[in-house]
Amino acid sequence: MKVEHANPLMFVEELLADAKTRGVWRWPRLLESPQEPVARYDGREVINLCSNNYLGLANHPALKAAALEAVARFGVGSGAVRTIAGNMSIHQELETELAAFKHTEATLLYQSGFSANAGTVAAILEKGDVVVSDELNHASLIDGCRLSGADKKIYPHKDVGAARRMLAESRGARRVLLITDGVFSMDGDIAPLPDLVTAAEEYGAIMMVDDAHASGVVGKDGRGTVDHFGMHGRVHVQVGTLSKAFAGLGGYVAGSRALIEWLMHRARPLLFSTSHPPSVAASALAAVRLVQHEPDLIRRLWDNTRFFKDGLRRLGFDTGNSETPITPVIIGDEARAMQFSDRLFEEGVFAVGLAFPTVPRGKARVRTIVTAGHTAQHLERALAAFQRAGTTLGVISP
Ligand SMILES: Cc1ncc(COP(=O)(O)O)c(C=O)c1O
């Protein structure tokens, strides 16, 4: 006889029903074309303001050719974790290129920016250590802090004075890590890196920067915030991603040779998860080289950024303190942000709505990112759509 048991996962259905009632649950839209400035989502050609494909390289012929060549030469998979049998020559070639790009002794490739952040923090801190962290740091840094077991001290966004007080309080700790995003992913503002670095130096803390949104975007040839602020040699741990401006997949840590050798020995994503397929490493390598040979890409990205950001501000939208191509349109109410995004989609523009837990409660927004590949016409059409949708929903006055 079959015994009926209560479903122990019932709470998931209840939580889901609640999110749906509040209008904040969405299944992601389906991309049915390459990732381009105008792309096909959910069966519709729309101006795409959602991707992190900053330099428009996701469908670039040189990157595609590099990936195909790597498949022909090395096959489709590495066959093992890096530390067992999956350490391929193409991985190391990419690491050498990235170290030269970042002006550091060495770099280490991870499967993603997420695993680079989480895996690195957890490999250099342990219980009894202290991490001093910006409240808006990326989830992967937060998870790394949790995994490490270190005591967490969270300072208000970009508040260097508060960070200093926390560093002072942590004087007795064995190791202290000061950690910040270089460019904040939901707000598009830049960390006060020079002041943080000075504070870290004064208190003997390790300085770490997550430059996921700065690499390929900020600094000479996109070397990131460390280059932008002239901080080479003063930031112990830099993280970058290959999944945004470099248009593929993967993360890396840049720093001293000793740091990299330690991480290869201890970082759990390296020890327990398979390394990149060779095609992924090859296209990233092509991207890093291309960016240094075609400075026009970054110039176009910034021209488009200025044009679009100015346009949104002129229309009366609240774009927060954004200083980079990430430009949020802050709405506040979660359901309203989602409605605004839906309305824009009807107008032919894809700009995703973001609510808690991606952004703090009460700070829901539509986030936009323009790319080097958008034309003036794309951006003008997008601004007209923002104006219509914003007026209709009362986000801006007519
Ligand atoms: C600030 C920041 N760090 C790290 C990551 C993770 O990078 P990846 O997508 O390569 O895992 C992201 C991406 O969402 C990010 O925005």
pLDDT in tens, 378-393: 999 999 999 999 999 9
CA of 212 to the centre of ligand 1 (A): 6
Rounded CA gap, 239 and 248, in Å?
16
- Residue 336 has what pLDDT? 94
CA of 358 to the centre of ligand 1 (A): 12
Pocket test for ligand 1, best of 114, 242, 252 (most atoms within 8 A of CB): 114
- Residue 26 has what pLDDT? 82
Query: Residue 300: CA atoms inside 13 Å, Cβ hemisphere, count?
Result: 15
- Strand bridging mode 353-354 / 364-369: antiparallel
Average pLDDT over residues 10-15: 95
Report the mean per-residue pLDDT for the chain: 96
Confirm or reject: Cβ of 111 under 6 Å from ligand 1: no
State yes or no: pLDDT of 272 exceeds 90.
yes
- Residue 4 has what pLDDT? 82
Pocket test for ligand 1, best of 244, 246, 324, 369 (most atoms within 8 A of CB): 244
CA of 204 to the centre of ligand 1 (A): 27
State yes or no: pLDDT of 2 exceeds 80.
no
- Residue 357 has what pLDDT? 86
Ligand 1 nearest-atom number relative to CA 117: 4
Ligand 1 nearest-atom number relative to CA 138: 1
- Residue 351 has what pLDDT? 97
Q: pLDDT by residue (tens digit) across 184-208?
A: 999 999 999 999 999 999 999 999 9
Q: pLDDT by residue (tens digit) across 323-371?
A: 999 999 999 999 999 999 999 999 999 999 999 888 999 999 999 999 9
Rounded CA gap, 366 and 380, in Å?
18
One-letter amino acid identity for 362?
G
Backbone angles phi, psi at 277, to 5 degrees: -60, 145
Pocket test for ligand 1, best of 111, 140, 238 (most atoms within 8 A of CB): 140
Confirm or reject: Cβ of 210 under 6 Å from ligand 1: yes
Rounded CA gap, 127 and 105, in Å?
29
Report the phi/psi class of residue 250: left, alpha or beta, with left for phi > 0 and alpha for psi in -120 to 50.
left
- Residue 298 has what pLDDT? 98
Confirm or reject: Cβ of 276 under 6 Å from ligand 1: no
pLDDT band per the 50, 70, 90 thresholds, residue 287: very high
pLDDT band per the 50, 70, 90 thresholds, residue 102: very high
- Residue 367 has what pLDDT? 97
Confirm or reject: Cβ of 243 under 6 Å from ligand 1: yes
In the structure encoding, which two tokens stand for residue 77, read together?
Answer: 């998979």
Backbone angles phi, psi at 318, to 5 degrees: -90, 105
CA of 138 to the centre of ligand 1 (A): 7
Is the separation of the CB atoms in 281 and 86 below 8 Å? no
Is the separation of the CB atoms in 257 and 91 below 8 Å? no
pLDDT band per the 50, 70, 90 thresholds, residue 222: very high
Average pLDDT over residues 92-120: 98
Average pLDDT over residues 237-251: 98
Rounded CA gap, 270 and 251, in Å?
12
Ligand 1 nearest-atom number relative to CA 185: 16
Length of the chain in residues, anyone?
Answer: 398
Ligand 1 nearest-atom number relative to CA 184: 1
**CA geometry: angle at 170 spanning 166 and 172, to 5°?**
165
DSSP letter (8 states) at residue 295 = T
Confirm or reject: Cβ of 140 under 6 Å from ligand 1: yes
Sign of the dihedral through C-alpha 339, 213, 68, 36: positive
User: So which residues are the catalytic ones?
Assistant: 185, 213, 244
Task: Pick the residue whose CA is nearest to atom 16 on ligand 1.
Answer: 185
Is the separation of the CB atoms in 163 and 137 below 8 Å? no
Q: What is the percent of the chain with per-residue pLDDT over 90, rounded to a whole number?
A: 95
pLDDT band per the 50, 70, 90 thresholds, residue 8: very high
CA of 119 to the centre of ligand 1 (A): 13
- Residue 25 has what pLDDT? 84
CA of 386 to the centre of ligand 1 (A): 27
Average pLDDT over residues 135-146: 96
pTM for the full predicted model: 0.95
